[in-house]
Amino acid sequence: MLFNSFGFLFAFLPVTLAVWLFLQKRAGLRIALSWLVIASLFFYAVWDVRYLAVLLTSISINFWLGGRILHARQQAAEARAGLWLKLGIGFNLLVLGGFKYTYFLAANLFGLFQAAPPFDPIVLPLAISFVTFQKIAYLVDCRRGQVQRHDALDYLFFVSFFPQLIAGPIVHHKPLIAQANTDSNPLFSQKEALVTGFSFLALGLFKKTILADSLARYASPVFELAKQATPGGEAAWQAMLAYTLQLYFDFSAYSDMAIGLALMFGFKLPVNFFSPYKATSIIDFWRRWHMTLSSFLRDYLYIPLGGNRHGEFKRYRNLWLTMLLAGIWHGAGWNFMLWGALHGSMLLINHFWHHLLKSRPTLAKAWQTLPDAIMTVLTFLLVAFAWILFRANDMNSAWHMYAALLQPFSGNPMPALPWHAPAQLAEGLLSASPDLAWAWIGIGLLTVWCLPNSVQLLSYDANANVRLKTIGARMQIALGIGCGTCFWLALKWMAVRPATEFLYFNF
């Protein structure tokens, strides 16, 4: 069930919300929370009921493992607690690897002998990557003594809450469960939470249906062609920029809708996306893009590897390995590994440059005179070049795209089609007008560089212990009209175009 579908917006969401509000007032928070867990599991089962059993089995085993770790800590058996933690991490990585990487490894192994694997690719259960990270984080927090209440209902809610179940943000148990364990949560009785939540939902829906899906029309056909041949130079640049913006608006849309849906139920989720294309460096980019993943990698991978505690060489090594593993987490393919390695290398260069500037005051002074706009555009282009590896189906497709970017713009902007190109590919390329492509890319760039993001626009504070910020009456009216218009336009768009999955569902 997609957030951007009529079934979700006009059936699942209103029914789930109405029952939640009714039970919360009439039966108490714990009963209402049970309903929310049931609704979330139903939301997941709609995708493919077969994988509900996988999810519930994994949840049950991880909850039991968490109990074993806490029990060992209570008995001061630190070694046993550590052993249970290693078993838990191993179990989760084995499940993730079995579904996500088995075919990739088999394909490369059998490929050495020019043979195909004896089985088809395994269909990846939805949300397995995000849920796996959350469960590992919970086990680690149990080991660190940061879990004070090991309750089955709380745990089920933490790992299955539908706004963040499929594509994040990656939440920690403590702030989310703390909101669910008290009737004094101010958002449960604050009408502004419902209004602000709907505003986030409307903005996200607009970004997904109108901006992201429209830009996809100029990216997808060219990347499909790159599987067979080298596209034309202008088409390749349009596809790279269109996909860069498509991914931005698609992920930004999901992040907005996740925050908005959670707010409608009275819960705050962390900000996961904060204008990353306004970043002035690769370091700054990773502080803004998929912020909860960056925090997870820092807290549960980079720091355990040693962080920056053992000298500059090991610091850079740990940082590069962390980004390499981030690439592998995103997908099973050499292109994802190279994407992670490339971002790791760019981060190392960025950190080394900062270190050099600190030791060269004259150079630092000259560097500071450069306008931020230049650094923003340079960072954007570096990220865009790397996204080709992220989007390409394989390394061969990526090389075709990179080769095409080096070609001059010709009089005919359309790429040459191979003689065996399928009809659907030809139709997609011919329907993607080059002039309209540049227009949509221009609109996208103006939006990401010149407008405030949704968090700024709606004055959202992710601190779970405070009420929503109040804004002036005129601003409320303007935002209400704007968000209502976005919602109406998105619905009109949805009526003529089929709903599409969010891109991060694939990871």
Q: Which residues are catalytic?
A: 330
C-alpha to C-alpha distances, 140 to 24, 89, 147, 412, nearest whole angstrom? 32, 9, 10, 57
Q: What residues contact 302, with CB distance under 8 A and at least 6 apart? A: 318, 319, 322
| Residue 194 phi, psi dihedral angles, 5° rounding | -65, -45
For residues 162, 135, 204, 264, the Cα torsion angle rounded to the nearest 10 degrees is: 50
Please tell me the distance from the alpha carbon of residue 59 to that of residue 61, in angstroms, as a whole number: 6
123: Cα within 13 Å, side-chain hemisphere = 7
Alpha carbons 66 and 46: distance in angstroms, whole number: 28
Query: Kindly report the CA angle at 98 between 95 and 101, in degrees rounded to 5?
Result: 125
Encoded tokens for 83: 């052993």
User: Rounded CA gap, 432 and 337, in Å?
Assistant: 31
Token output for 220: 């997808």
Say how many C-beta atoms besides its own lie within 10 A of residue 121's C-beta: 12
Contact partners, residue 133, CB within 8 Å, separation at least 6: 170, 293, 296
Contact assessment for residue 339 and residue 386, using Cβ atoms and an 8 Å cutoff: yes
Q: Tell me if 226 sits within 8 A of 425, measured CB to CB.
A: no
Token digits of residue 48: 């493919």
